[in-house]
Structure 1
């Protein structure tokens, strides 16, 4: 991949999802496990089901997965029917469903990385989809990390 913008997009997406490399970070904590996958690995289904300010980590996670699915569809020039509100209705998950949410998020992420690797250049629409995906995913990473703090505070009371 020779396109510097595609390299940068891939780097930032990898930091968002996989965490930073070698104690170096562009915007997350420069330590292992600070990306979305490392953060979610530490969450039980029970904690993922606790409502914080009207939503759950399970809903945040499924919404992040859904956004990646929409982005992947867009990059493949598909126009699927969308239901943005569906993921926000998730309140409780069991261990199996929680594992499924995490697996599906990882699958959508892997699909996105493969698509990025197949690109040679960027047009405005593709650039917007990819940059929007970084911003959206980083937002939800931050939201989930703040929700974890709130859940820990609740458990200490």
Structure 2
């Protein structure tokens, strides 16, 4: 991948989801496990189901997964049938459902990275979509980390 913008998008997505590389960060906490995946692996299904200000970590996580699915659909040049409200309906999860949500989040993230690797240039629409995906995912990472503080995991 020779495109500096695509390299930057990949780097920032990786930091958001996987955490920073080598204890150096562009915008997250610079210690290992600071990304979304490292943050979520410490959360039980029970804790993911605790309501904080009207939402749960499970809902925040599934909404982030849903957003990645929408981004992947657009990169496939498909018009997804969106139901944003449905992406917030999850409240209580058991261990199996919590594991499934996390696995699906990983799958959508991996699909997105593979799609980015196939791009050689970016038009304005794709640029906005990818940058929006970084910002949106980072927002929910921050929300989840604040929710963890509120429930004192």
TM-score by length of 1: 0.96
Q: Paired residue for 2:70? A: 70
Q: CA deviation at 1:89?
A: 1.4
TM-score by length of 2: 0.99
Show CA shifts across 1:13-58 (max 9, x none): 0000000000100001111100000000000000000000000000
Question: Unaligned stretches of 5+ in structure 2?
Answer: none
Q: Paired residue for 1:13? A: 13
Q: Paired residue for 1:133? A: 133
- Supply the distance in 1 between the matched residues of 2:91 and 2:84 (Cα, whole angstroms): 16
| Dislocated runs of 4+, deviation >4 Å | none
Q: Paired residue for 1:22? A: 22
Question: Unaligned stretches of 5+ in structure 1?
Answer: none
- Supply the distance in 2 between the matched residues of 1:101 and 1:89 (Cα, whole angstroms): 13
Q: Paired residue for 2:44? A: 44
Number of matched pairs? 153
